[in-house]
Amino acid sequence: MPSLRQYTAIFLLPSAFFGYALYANSTLLVNAASPAAQASERKDLSLSYVIDGEATRDLDSLYKNELPHRAASVGLFGNARYALLGAGRKGVIVGQDGWFFTAEEFKTVWTKDIDDAANRVASIKRDLETRGIRLVLAPLPAKSDLYAEEVPSFVRSSAMADAYSVFSAALEQRGIAVADTRAAMLTAKPFGEVFLKSDTHWSPAGARAAAEAIQSSLQKNGVTLPSQELTAQWQTPVSLWGDLTKFVTSPDYAPTVGLSEESVPIYRTAVNADASGADIFGDDASVPVMLVGTSYSANENWSFADFLRQSLRADVVNVAKEGLGPGVPMMDLLAGSALDETAPTVVVWEFPVRYLGTKTLWQREGDAKAEGGNV
């Protein structure tokens, strides 16, 4: 049952909000009625102005640009909602001890969606094989799966763990090399957090565990790569606000409710060009491993390409892209010239299972609308 604090908040927050809304809107009306505002822009208040949506766009712009105290109100109301209710805006699930989860991970992935994805991956595998390239797929487990104990009990489920297992099995049934990143990350979990608490992404510890799982998968499938000499070093950690924090409050106000930036250690590796690498590959631009995937790979803060380079003892070219899911970067790769120019022996495909079943898995949102009329 809700506590007295929660009951109080349920009534207090709307009252505060509507009180502020009354004040803010009165301020907007006063400003809009001023001679300066009227002189700056006059609109023809015709029926077409309303029907065509121009009035709605102007009102939206007015609120975004002119609403007084907008930034402060977002932070303060976010703080109150988090402190009193332990909740955030739509899109985030607030867990225990400052753990945040994206709402995208709390869904059921249907068997048909998994089979469709596995069939598409099998087709891509055959395409790569015609070019003499081996594919290893690294399905990534959901944060809500690996840290289920931090998820509120009323939304906790095995859906993402099930999706990982069924997807991995479907891929293996089609002869695709699969790296068991989930098992590797669970093994690494007692020694350090494998996901960032306030972000959708893994930590460098999680990225390192996944890289080692990929190396094990290649070894299991009889894929050997010429060993290259590397240099490696830890660099100064970077501090950043987790991408889920903005669904709770604003960074300016987050510290007042006990939230803080993530400290992310940076690991960097590079092939020593004066050693074996240059002799093995001669003067061409060949790189033995190509990495494709999502922001888990593309964002250098997680150091995934660097850990992969170290685990494989081979150079890695990273063509992953942010904000497109796992499918679109692969389709772009197949349609482009990078495979021919780089001539990799292996393509590593990082694929978060939370994207299974999404309508834009294989095409950009605009393309999906043009083809099917649906997002």
User: Are 100 and 248 in contact, with CB atoms under 8 Å apart?
Assistant: yes
Does 44 qualify as catalytic in the annotation? no
* Rounded Cα–Cα distance for residues 72 and 257 (Å): 15
The one catalytic residue among 199, 203, 250, 306: 199
Choosing from 198, 201, 217, 306, which is the catalytic residue? 201
CA angle (102, 166, 179) in 5-degree steps: 80
69 is catalytic: no
- Tokens read off for 265: 């250690």
| Candidate list 144, 203, 250, 295, residue with the active-site label | 295
Residues in Cβ contact with 98 at an 8 Å cutoff, skipping those fewer than 6 apart:
197, 198, 258, 259
3-state SS string for the chain: CCCHHHHHHHHHHHHHHHHHHHHHHHHHHHHHHCHHHHHHCCCCCCHHHHHCCHHHHHHHHHHHHHCCCHHHHHHHHHHHHHHHHCCCCCCEEECHHHCEEEHHHCCCCCHHHHHHHHHHHHHHHHHHHHCCCEEEEEEECCHHHHCHHHCCCCCCCCHHHHHHHHHHHHHHHCCCEECCHHHHHHHHHHHCCCECCCCCCECHHHHHHHHHHHHHHHHHCCCCCCCCCEEEEEEEEEEECCCCHHHCCCCCCHHHHCCCCEEEEEEEEEECCCCHHHHHHCCCCCCCEEEECCHHHHCHHHCHHHHHHHHHCCCEEECCCCCCCCHHHHHHHHHCCHHHHHCCCEEEEEEEHHHCCCCCCCCCHHHHHHHHCCC
Can 201 be counted among the known catalytic residues?
Answer: yes
Just list the catalytic residues: 199, 201, 295
